[in-house]
Amino acid sequence: MTPRFVEVADRVYVLTEPLLDVNVTLVVGDSAALLVDTLSTAGQAAELAAAARAVTAAPWTIVNTHHHFDHCFGNAVLAADPPRPVHAHERVTAALRDHPDRLRREAYAEVVAHWPALAPGLAATALLAPTHSVRTEAVLDVGGRRVLLRHPGPGHTDGDLVVHVPDADVLVAGDLVEQSGPPDFSDAHPLSWPDAVTDLLRLTTPATVVVPGHGRPVDAGFVRAQHARLAELAALIRAGHRDGVAPDRLAADAPFGPRTARTAIRRGYAELDAT
């Protein structure tokens, strides 16, 4: 079954791609629209475009929440012809502009190992770098609707953006918040991730709909609970590094389970060693 957009707030829609449970958000204004993230392959992006067109005929602007393949490799299908603005953090722009072959190789290795059916389409997909870079924040006018793009600091990656739609009380958090599985630390900054989530929580109310990078929309309470576990893990990493505890030993009872925590601990230790 082809995925479709479901309205989660006033003229804000979410589509969940079933293979990776990854979310795309569509914000519709007067004669304009915004698509947040573009999926993994040209084929997925073409289906995404058709799903968006079933909701609105308005021209869209694109936002990439970060540089991972499942959030930006569909850019060329959705924004190249005709040309559309693509907004992302400046580090995401640089990565897609300067290192597309490396990003594709890394993504291909990951999907071959975990989702092999996705590999041929990903290998054949052309990448398109963002056209507009954000350092800290930017404001877009989406058909009369104010939309805030904000970089809350290093967290899931060094170039995360969150997207706030205040008139609908919706916050698109990207992979800074995960619902369908544990956070992914493979590219992360585990010591500063809690601070990034603290920053995005300032944009929420008790009624805010938070769209995670993967899984079902959640509320601010869910985000606060995940923040507490991220903060606990960061404190554990600092204490373990100070006391010389081996990563595997520290991971045994860490938040998010040993396998996920082990990656976070190793990255945290490397960061502390460097500083």
Q: What is the pLDDT of residues 123-137, one digit of tens each?
A: 999 999 999 999 999
Same fold for the pair 1-133 and 152-275: yes
Q: How far apart are CA 133 and CA 86, in angstroms?
A: 8
pLDDT recorded at residue 275: 74
Percent pLDDT > 70 in the chain is 100
The pair of three-digit structure tokens given for residue 197, joined into one six-digit string? 């989530």
pLDDT recorded at residue 66: 98
Q: Is the pTM of this model over 0.75?
A: yes
pLDDT of 168 > 80? The answer is yes
Q: Using one digit for the tens of pLDDT, what is the confidence trace for 134-159?
A: 999 999 999 999 999 999 999 999 99
Q: Which CATH architecture has domain 1-133?
A: 4-Layer Sandwich (3.60)
pLDDT of 1 > 90? The answer is no
pLDDT recorded at residue 50: 97
Q: How far apart are CA 45 and CA 72, in angstroms?
A: 10
Is the torsion defined by CA of 192, 194, 199, 200 positive or negative? positive
Q: How far apart are CA 131 and CA 75, in angstroms?
A: 11
CA angle 180, 186, 190 (to 5 degrees): 90
pLDDT recorded at residue 2: 80
Name the DSSP letter for residue 117: G
Q: What Cα–Cα distance (Å) separates residue 45 from each residue in 78, 79, 126, 208?
A: 7, 10, 11, 28
As a whole number, mean pLDDT of residues 151-171 equals 98
227 in Cβ contact with 194 (< 8 Å): yes
As a whole number, mean pLDDT of residues 196-213 equals 98
Average per-residue pLDDT for the chain: 97
Is the preceding omega at residue 116 within 30 degrees of 0, hence cis? no
Q: How far apart are CA 179 and CA 112, in angstroms?
A: 24
152-275: CATH homologous superfamily?
Ribonuclease Z/Hydroxyacylglutathione hydrolase-like (3.60.15.10)
Q: Using one digit for the tens of pLDDT, what is the confidence trace for 60-72?
A: 999 999 999 999 9
User: In the chain, where are the structural domains located?
Assistant: 1-133, 152-275
Written as one string, the DSSP assignment of 33-87 is: EEEE---SSHHHHHHHHHHHHTT--S-EEEE-SSSSHHHHTTHHHHHTTTT--EE
Amino acid at site 2: T
The pair of three-digit structure tokens given for residue 137, joined into one six-digit string? 């924040």
pLDDT recorded at residue 47: 97
Q: Using one digit for the tens of pLDDT, what is the confidence trace for 13-52?
A: 999 999 999 999 999 999 999 999 999 999 999 999 999 9
24 in Cβ contact with 213 (< 8 Å): no
